[in-house]
């Protein structure tokens, strides 16, 4: 059954690479070797969307990024992404994102851009973690630790004192809305804490969870509904990590190894009694890019 996740992800990747072309269900289905009707049914089952609505949303999102980041004429962008006219793009843009393309170009406020779907994660994380994928024949390394300094920075996101991890968080919050907002902030993402990041906070003696992105120290843009902005002090971090790995085969095992080392690390013993955890002042970060950097948990420390 899980092979459909991989097949539909291949369709999603193909769609992303061909958004400026004429996309047909027949051509997409030929990429994975199943009938168009069966592919359509499975796509809807795993994404909750029809292929037509998904393609329309992704074209709109890519058009918005071009409007924001280029000087191309809006009519040319409309044609590039398959809209029949500039007016057609304007109608779709206004209905979905709450402003016109011209208004967005003039002032690129945070908007919930339709996101690229991932049918591996998070919805199917528990299946992976509980043995949905055979990991018995893979070769992994042990989790390790290094030190990293992160200067003071601003972070915009959502903090939830009741959520303990990624799956708990997105069981309560709208993943598409949050990730779409963060995607629309990619042009102001801070190089220190860049892109989609997440992690844990100390919330009255227990771990809460947050999700968002870093923004520049001089950021004065709008704060999207449900989000807030915080300043995180400078700190050294212990980075507990596993290098790049195969997400489908090894994700549950790798995350387990890193988390076990991170949350059970004897700071007193390993660092000669010189340091304390700094989690009351700073937040713990989570970096999860399996085939780019691997998996990392960052816990802040300070001198005694």
Strands (DSSP E) along 190-292, which ranges?
A: 197-203, 206-215, 228-232, 235-242, 275-277, 284-289
What phi and psi values does residue 150 have, to the nearest 5 degrees? -120, 120
Rounded to whole angstroms, how far apart are CA atoms 144 and 254? 11
Q: Kindly give, in sequence order, each residue whose CB lies less than 8 Å from that of residue 159, ignoring residues fewer than 6 positions away.
A: 201, 208, 209, 210, 228, 230
CB atoms within 10 A of CB 23: 17
So what's the pLDDT on residue 10? Answer: 87
Tokens representing residue 264 in the block: 């059970």
b/e 165-187 (16+ beta carbons within 10 angstroms → b): bbeebbeeeebbebbbbbbbbee
Select from 279, 159, 289, 172 the least CA-distant residue to 211. 159
Domains for the chain: give ranges and CATH numbers: 3-106 (1.10.10.60), 130-303 (3.20.80.10)
Where do the DSSP E strands lie in the chain? 144-150, 153-160, 197-203, 206-215, 228-232, 235-242, 275-277, 284-289, 294-303
Query: Both tokens of residue 268?
Result: 């007193």
Rounded-to-integer distance, Cα 14 and Cα 258, Å:
32
For residue 96, the SS3 value is helix
Angle CA(172)–CA(176)–CA(181) in degrees, nearest 5? Answer: 105
With H, G, I as helix, E, B as strand and everything else as coil, classify residue 107: coil
Identify the pLDDT of residue 2.
58
Which pTM value belongs to this model? 0.82
Residue positions counted in the chain: 304
Q: What is the mean pLDDT of each run of 10 residues along the chain (304 residues)?
A: 75 92 87 85 89 95 96 97 96 94 94 88 40 46 94 95 92 94 90 87 90 91 93 96 88 94 94 92 93 92 93
Phi, psi of 70 (to 5 degrees): -125, 170
Determine the Cα–Cα distance for residues 254 and 134; give it in Å rounded to an integer.
13
Q: Radius of gyration over alpha carbons of the chain, in Å?
A: 21
Instruction: Quote the pLDDT of residue 71.
Output: 96
Structure tokens at 154: 């601003």
pLDDT of the residue at 126: 37
Instruction: Provide the pLDDT for residue 220.
Output: 87
The pLDDT score that the predictor gives to residue 194 is 82
Structure tokens that stand for 26 in this block: 């027949």
Tell me, what's the pLDDT at 6? 81
User: What does the pLDDT read at residue 30?
Assistant: 84
**DSSP letter string, 134-153:** --TT---PPPEEEEEEE--E
């Amino acid at each position: 059954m899980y092979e459909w996740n991989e097949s539909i992800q291949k369709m999603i990747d193909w769609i992303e690479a061909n958004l400026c072309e004429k996309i047909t269900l027949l051509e997409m289905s030929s990429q994975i070797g199943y009938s168009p009707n069966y592919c359509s049914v499975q796509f809807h089952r795993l994404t909750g969307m029809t292929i037509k609505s998904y393609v329309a949303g992704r074209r709109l999102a890519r058009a918005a990024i071009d409007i924001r980041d280029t000087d191309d004429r809006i009519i040319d962008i409309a044609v590039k992404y398959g809209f029949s006219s500039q007016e057609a793009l304007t109608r779709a843009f206004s209905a979905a994102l709450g402003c016109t393309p011209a208004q967005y170009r003039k002032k690129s406020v945070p908007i919930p851009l339709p996101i690229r779907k991932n049918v591996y994660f998070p919805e199917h994380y528990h299946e992976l973690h509980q043995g949905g994928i055979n990991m018995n024949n893979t070769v992994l390394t042990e989790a390790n630790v290094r030190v990293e300094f992160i200067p003071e920075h601003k972070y915009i996101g959502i903090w939830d004192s009741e959520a303990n991890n990624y799956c708990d968080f997105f069981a309560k919050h709208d993943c598409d809305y949050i990730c779409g907002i963060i995607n629309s902030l990619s042009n102001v993402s801070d190089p220190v804490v860049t892109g989609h990041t997440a992690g844990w906070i100390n919330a009255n003696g227990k771990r809460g969870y947050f999700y968002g992105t870093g923004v520049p120290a001089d950021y004065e843009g709008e704060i999207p509904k449900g989000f807030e902005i915080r300043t995180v002090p400078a700190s050294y971090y212990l980075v507990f990590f596993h290098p790049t790995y195969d997400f489908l085969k090894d994700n549950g095992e790798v995350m387990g190894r890193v988390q076990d080392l991170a949350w059970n690390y004897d700071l007193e013993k390993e660092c000669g009694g010189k340091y304390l955890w700094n989690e009351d002042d700073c937040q713990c970060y989570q970096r999860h890019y399996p085939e780019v950097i691997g998996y990392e948990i960052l816990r802040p420390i300070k001198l005694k």
